[in-house]
Amino acid sequence: MGYKVAVVGATGAVGREMLQTLAERNFPADKVYALASSKSIGQEVSYGDDEILIVEALDKFDFAAAEIALFSAGGDTAKTYAPIAGQAGCLVIDNSSAFRMDDDVPLVVPEVNPDSVPSSLIENGGRNIIANPNCSTAQLVVALKPLHDAFIIKRVVVSTYQAVSGAGRPAMDELFNQTKGIYVNDAVQPEIFTKQIAFNAIPHIDIFLDDGFTKEEWKMTAETKKILDPTIELVAHCVRIPVFVGHSEAVFIETQQPMTEKAVRGLLGDAPGVIVVDHRANEGYVTPHEAAGEDAVYISRIRQDPTVTNGMVFWCVSDNLRKGAALNSVQIAELIAAQDIRGR
């Protein structure tokens, strides 16, 4: 018997991708509900290539009608509605940061810690919430996992180059309209971003914390520890760039055990969810433009770091709406379906 699935935030950048991914991967859904705010009631969204769903209002929806809910409607909406859904016996997979660091909420990347998915709803503390990590963390830990297993990662330094779709559809519109406007000399008026995003790079994602890091940078550290290993030290510098889809990361790792470039290339090449494209020639690497619409985490530019004892550097690119959000959520739903954990 298939599942009744609700997608919360179905009109958004990630929500639309969730519907697409559920259909593409033939998730065993008997019924799919598309939910958004009341201003979107009656709007049509695609579910795969052939089906259209009519958007319903989240605040009027009875979660007893659904068994799994994929949430991507922001932290505040999740804080209000995920507990309501959970109490109704619906298992929530939430893409926001609202619950990620809660002790009783598993934070899951299926290639890395599939065993963190509870085997029953009761084991999940009755809250029935599983969290999806931040988009930059998801693609990073998929690449770090095989290297940590083999060589024990001590420290990671990561600089990100993040697409605007990570900030939602209005952010994509802002980049589009600003870019057009600049060509006709319109004055730039940032609304979503703090500064001009077109033809620029903004070293500021999410709020500033007391120690000078941004919350996005903190999330990468805290979430990597929770998903992979609390002993890993990670320092991040996160930058928004004028790319619509696809997050890029320059990653510097230091390990306990010595590693060769060949071994790293081999391990990453065999790792689930990873594709290595690294030819040290023109076109021999992957850019975010090429990763957009794809499921894999792409690794290029692997090279030894000569400045530390056991160090390696690489470039890591992935579609932030897919592995960073929708795909990861659907993969978690697939783990749930495989174990047939359901509330009713």
How would you label 92-111 residue by residue, b for 16+ Cβ within 10 Å and e otherwise?
bbbbbbbbbeeeebbbbbbb
Q: Can 247 be counted among the known catalytic residues?
A: yes
- Residue 77 contacts ligand A2P per CB under 6 A: yes
The values of phi and psi at residue 65, to 5°, are -80, -10
174 membership: H or E segment, kind and range: helix 169-183
Residues in region 287-316 near ligand A2P by CB under 6 A: none
Residues in the chain: 344
**Which of the stretches 8-16, 25-33, 123-131, 266-274 binds ligand A2P when contact is defined by CB under 6 A?**
8-16
The CB-nearest residue to ligand A2P is 12
Figure out which of the listed residues 3, 4, 5, 9 binds ligand A2P, where binding follows CB under 6 A: 9
- 11 vs 132 by CB, closer to ligand A2P: 11
What is the Cα–Cα distance from 326 to 295, expressed in whole angstroms? Answer: 10
- Residue 324 contacts ligand A2P per CB under 6 A: no
- 54 vs 338 by CB, closer to ligand A2P: 54
Whether the CB-CB separation of 92 and 71 falls below 8 Å is answered with yes
Kindly state the DSSP code that residue 128 receives in the 8-state scheme: -
- Residue 328 contacts ligand A2P per CB under 6 A: no
- 81 vs 285 by CB, closer to ligand A2P: 81
Whether the CB-CB separation of 268 and 190 falls below 8 Å is answered with no
Kindly state the DSSP code that residue 282 receives in the 8-state scheme: T
- Residue 166 contacts ligand A2P per CB under 6 A: no
Whether the CB-CB separation of 215 and 209 falls below 8 Å is answered with yes
- 72 vs 300 by CB, closer to ligand A2P: 72
- Residue 168 contacts ligand A2P per CB under 6 A: yes
Whether the CB-CB separation of 161 and 243 falls below 8 Å is answered with yes
Rg (CA), the chain: 20
Figure out which of the listed residues 6, 29, 73, 286 binds ligand A2P, where binding follows CB under 6 A: 73
Figure out which of the listed residues 126, 170, 203, 293 binds ligand A2P, where binding follows CB under 6 A: 170
- Residue 74 contacts ligand A2P per CB under 6 A: yes
**Amino acid (one-letter) located at 31:** K
- Residue 44 contacts ligand A2P per CB under 6 A: no
Binding positions for ligand A2P, rule: CB under 6 A: 9-13, 15, 36-37, 39-40, 58, 73-74, 77, 168-170
| Residues that are catalytic | 135, 247
